[in-house]
Amino acid sequence: MFERRLSKFRPAIERLEDRWTPAGNVTASVQNILVGTAFVPTLVVKGDVLANPIDVSQNSFENFTVTGFGTTVNGGASFTAGGIQAISVNTGGGGDVVFLGLNGLEIDVIGNLSVNTGSGNGFVQDVLPAGTFLRVFKNLSVASGAGNDVYIFGDVTVVGAATFTHIAGGNTTLLIQAGTAVNGSLGSLTVNNGIGDDFTLVTGTNVTGSVSIANGNAAFSATGAATTTTFSAGNSGATLSIGGNLTISNGTSSGTGQPFTTTVEDYNVNGNVAINTGNASNPAAGGSTVSLSDNNTLGATQVKGSVSIGGTGIGFKTVNIGDQTGASSLDIGKGLSINLSTATGGSTLNLNDVSIHGATAITGTSGADTLNIQTIAAGANGTNFFGNVSVNLAGGNDTLNLSGGGGFFVTFFTPAGGSIVFNGGGGVNTRNIMGAIGTDVVFFAVVPQFVNFL
């Protein structure tokens, strides 16, 4: 699905002058910095208020070189030092560029690696060849101030926390994309973005801990891009994993602003999933879309905890849960909650090839909502409910489509004493059951209730 984005960007060093105006000087030194209870020999790089394009490359174990491109390093062309266990780069103001690994050799940082490009348009990129790793054995931190900033990482392993922070305002692009079938890994991932049109793409990379992504409000510009967050297996050839919880929140895009799109596919999540759709209130821009799915044929994708989708405001909402291709399935170990009760702009909710082992609770918007349950040809298992089912489509003229016909299987395993309720709410509501009851749509132990439908 994302093949056209996955080739690693290669910098054109000879053309840096076209985008930035290199100048100034950076200082580079080795300092013993107290981290916890120990002093860590750290390569410290500091820029000035002018543009500072530089590269930090590793020559051999604990030996690094800082090279300037149109900017000086300690008044000269470069600085090399050994015994380095951590790296701290703060380039100050101006349009700064920080490359990592232009010499093509793997980078192993024993301690922390931190890069801060300050205010101005910042650019940070791991430029190592595909299959050549950047390894950080403690924490990776990338931050910047106001401006439009780009962070690009390829085959990267971070044992500790990976944190990307750009809350001062401006557009943010974050790419973490493995260049080969060998997957990178992060101890945890935290992304904090401020006002701006943000693009986050994580492919081919496992996370052993939790993931938290907070997108601020969009830039309120008709010419801006959508705020997009995507987790995908990419070209890894495997279903990947998030070891803890996955939390993604989006802000508001009003007036002529662009939509929010959140996609998580082919990732097993050992904890809970919580996603806020955001409020994209420009109808022409398409509203907000959330997709939690399995789009490969490598076996079912699992969320071992619960899944919670929420959204507010007047923008239209589209929520896709399960495999939307009929090729595989999604298994939710606990409950599914979709709560759009404070939203007003209408929605389309699609549940296909998903098994929900806890309770299912769905509340629509006050506008026109459409709930589609297994309206594409079913994969191996169709859609299965193992707990109570409570659907309230609230106000507006709503539509329930339950099974698309023969072979579009929906099964309710809700135990005796439980409940299955579909409530159309206010308005003129339509119920369509295209599959045969008892064959395509099966209620084992509980008789369903359909309320406020024609």
Tens place of pLDDT per residue across the chain (454 aa): 333 333 444 344 333 444 445 578 999 999 999 999 999 999 999 999 999 999 999 999 999 999 999 999 999 999 999 999 999 999 998 889 999 999 999 999 999 999 999 999 999 999 999 889 999 999 999 999 999 999 999 999 999 999 999 988 889 999 998 766 667 899 999 999 988 889 999 998 999 999 999 998 876 555 556 789 999 887 666 789 999 999 999 988 765 556 789 999 989 999 999 999 988 766 555 678 999 987 665 678 999 999 999 988 777 899 999 987 767 789 999 999 999 998 888 999 999 999 999 999 999 999 999 999 999 887 778 999 999 999 999 989 999 999 988 889 999 999 999 999 999 999 999 999 998 999 999 999 999 999 999 8
First to last CA, the chain: 39
Q: What local confidence, expressed as pLDDT, does residue 137 receive? A: 98
Q: What local confidence, expressed as pLDDT, does residue 235 receive? A: 65
Q: What local confidence, expressed as pLDDT, does residue 11 receive? A: 40
pTM: 0.91
Q: What local confidence, expressed as pLDDT, does residue 68 receive? A: 97
Q: What local confidence, expressed as pLDDT, does residue 236 receive? A: 66
CB 396 within 8 A of CB 423: no
Which residues have CB under 8 Å from 242's CB, separation 6+?
A: 206, 207, 210, 211, 231, 267, 268, 269, 270, 271
Q: What local confidence, expressed as pLDDT, does residue 224 receive? A: 55
3-state secondary structure the chain: CCHHHCCCCCCCHHHHHHHCCECCEEEEEEEEEEECCEEEEEEEEECCCCECEEEEEEEECCEEEEEECCCEECCECEEEECCCCEEEEECCCCCCEEEECCCCCCEEECCCEEEECCCCCCEEEECCCCCCCEEECCCEEEECCCCCEEEEECCEEEEEEEEEEECCCCCEEEEEECCCCCCEEEEEEEEEECCCCEEEEEECEEECCCEEEECCCCCCCCCCCCEEEEEECCCCCCCEEECCCEEEECCEECCCCCCEEEEEECEEECCCEEEECCEECCHHHCCEEEEEECCCCCCCEEECCCEEEEEEECCCEEEEEECCCCCCCEEECCCEEEEEEEECCCEEEEEECEEECCCEEEECCCCCEEEEECCCCCCCCCEEECCCEEEECCCCCCEEEECCCCCCCEEECCCCCCCEEEECCCCCCEEEECCCECCCEEECCCCCEEECCC
Q: What local confidence, expressed as pLDDT, does residue 14 receive? A: 39
Q: What local confidence, expressed as pLDDT, does residue 17 receive? A: 40
Q: What local confidence, expressed as pLDDT, does residue 282 receive? A: 63
Q: What local confidence, expressed as pLDDT, does residue 7 receive? A: 42
Q: What local confidence, expressed as pLDDT, does residue 6 receive? A: 38
